[in-house]
A and B are shown apart, each in its own frame.
Chain A
Amino acid sequence: MIWVNQIVQGVLLGGFYALLATGLSLMFGVMRIINLAHGDLAVVGAFLVWWLHDRGLSVGVSLVIMLPVLALVGVVLQRVLLERSLRAGVLMPLLTTFGLAIVIQNLLFEKFGADIRSVDIGSLAFDGWRVTDQIYVGKLPVLIFGVALALLGALQFFLSRLPLGRAMRATAQDPETAELVGINARGVYLCAAAIAVATAGLAGAFLAMRATFDAYAGPTLLIFAFEAVVIGRIGSLWGTLVGGVSIGVAQTIGAQLNPQWSILAGHLVFLAVLAARLTVSGVWARGGFKAAVGIRS
Chain B
Amino acid sequence: MSILEVEGMDAHHGLLHAVRGVSLSVARGETLALVGANGAGKTTLLRTIAGSHPATLGRILYDGTDVTSLPAYLRVRRGITLVPEGRRLFPDLTLEENLLVAGRTGRKGDWNVERLYKTFPMLARLRKKRAATLSGGEQQATAIGRALMTNPGVLLIDEASLGLAPVAVDLIYESLAAVVATGMTLVLVEQDVGRALGVASHVACMLEGRIVLEGPAAKVTREQVVDAYFGLGAATPA
Q: How far apart are the CA atoms of A183 and B100 in the complex, in Å?
A: 12
With both chains docked as a complex, state the minimum distance between the C-beta of B199 and any C-beta of chain A, in angstroms: 22
Residues of A within 8 A of B230 (CB): none
**Nearest chain-A residue to B78 (Cβ)?**
A182
- Chain B residues near A174 (CB-CB < 8 A): 88, 90
Task: Tell me, in angstroms, the Cα distance from A179 to B102 when the chains sit together.
Answer: 10
In the complex, which residue of chain B has the Cβ closest to the Cβ of A185? B73
Q: Give the residues in chain A near B90, CB-CB below 8 Å.
A: 169-170, 173-174, 177-178
Residue B195 interfacial (CB < 8 Å): no
Name B38-90 residues within 8 Å CB distance of A.
Answer: 50-52, 71-73, 76-77, 81-82, 84, 88, 90
Q: Are B50 and A163 in contact (CB under 8 A)?
A: no
- CA gap between A181 and B111 in the complex, in Å: 14
Asked if A183 and B84 sit within 8 Å, CB to CB, the answer is no
On whether the beta carbons of B92 and A181 are closer than 8 Å, the reply is no
Sampled A-B contacts (26; CB under 8 Å): A166-B97, A166-B101, A167-B104, A173-B90, A173-B92, A174-B88, A174-B90, A176-B52, A176-B88, A177-B84, A177-B90, A178-B90, A179-B51, A179-B71, A179-B73, A180-B76, A180-B84, A180-B88, A181-B101, A181-B102, A182-B77, A182-B81, A182-B150, A183-B73, A183-B104, A185-B73
Q: Give the size range of B's interface with the partner.
A: 20 to 34
Shortest distance between the CB of B205 and any CB in chain A (Å): 25
CB distance from A254 to the nearest CB of B (A): 36
Closest chain-A Cβ to B198's Cβ sits at a distance in Å of: 27
B112-166 contacts to A (CB < 8 Å): 146-147, 149-150
Query: Are A166 and B93 interface neighbours, CB within 8 A?
Result: yes
A184 CB-CB contact with B under 8 Å = yes
A 165-209 contacts with B by CB, 8 A = 166-167, 169-170, 173-174, 176-185
- With a cutoff of 8 Å between Cβ atoms, the chain B residues found around residue A167 in the complex are 101, 104
B237 at the interface (CB under 8 A from A): no
* B226, chain A: closest CB distance, angstroms: 32
In-complex Cβ contact of A166 among B71, B100, B150 (8 A): B100
B93 touches A170 (CB 8 A): yes
Contacts of A180 in B (CB 8 A): 50, 52, 72-73, 76, 81-82, 84, 88
User: A162 → chain B, closest Cβ, in Å?
Assistant: 11
* Residue B8 is within 8 A (CB to CB) of chain A in the complex: no
B105 and A182 contact, CB distance less than 8 A? yes
Given contacts A179-B71, A182-B104, 10 further A-B contacts (CB under 8 A): A166-B97, A177-B84, A179-B72, A180-B73, A180-B82, A180-B84, A181-B146, A182-B77, A183-B104, A184-B73
Q: Determine the distance from Cα of A155 to Cα of B3 in the docked complex, in whole angstroms.
A: 42
- Given A167-B104, A173-B91, A184-B73: A179 in contact with B52 (beta carbons within 8 A): yes
- Which of under 10, 10 to 19, 20 to 34, or 35 or more describes the interface residues of A? 10 to 19
B93 touching A182, Cβ below 8 Å: no
- Bound Cα distance from A162 to B84, whole angstroms: 25
B52 touches A163 (CB 8 A): no
Contacts A177-B84, A177-B88, A182-B105; is A163 near B76 (CB within 8 Å)? no
User: A182 to B84, Cβ gap below 8 A?
Assistant: no
| Contact in complex: A182, B76 (CB < 8 Å) | yes
A181–B81 CB distance below 8 A: yes
Asked if residues A163 and B91 are in contact (CB atoms below 8 Å), the reply is: no
The 3 A-B pairs with the shortest beta carbon distances in the complex, nearest first, are A182-B76, A181-B102, A179-B72
Contact A181 B100 (CB under 8 A): no
A196 and B85 CA atoms in complex are apart in Å by: 34
Q: With CB as the reference atom, state the residue of chain A lying closest to B50.
A: A180
Q: For B102, list chain A residues within 8 Å (CB).
A: 181-182
Contacts of A176 in B (CB 8 A): 52, 88
- B92 cross-chain contacts in A, Cβ below 8 A: 169, 173
Q: Among A170, A179, A180, A184, which residue has the most Cβ atoms of chain B within 10 A? A: A180
CB distance from B53 to the nearest CB of A (A): 10
CB distance from A288 to the nearest CB of B (A): 31
CB distance from B164 to the nearest CB of A (A): 19
Q: A residues within 8 A CB of B73?
A: 178-180, 182-185
Interchain CB contact under 8 A, A163 and B104? yes
A177 to B82, CA, bound (A): 9
For the complex, give the distance between the alpha carbons of A194 and B24 in Å: 43
Q: Which residues of B contact A177 (CB under 8 A)?
A: 84, 88, 90
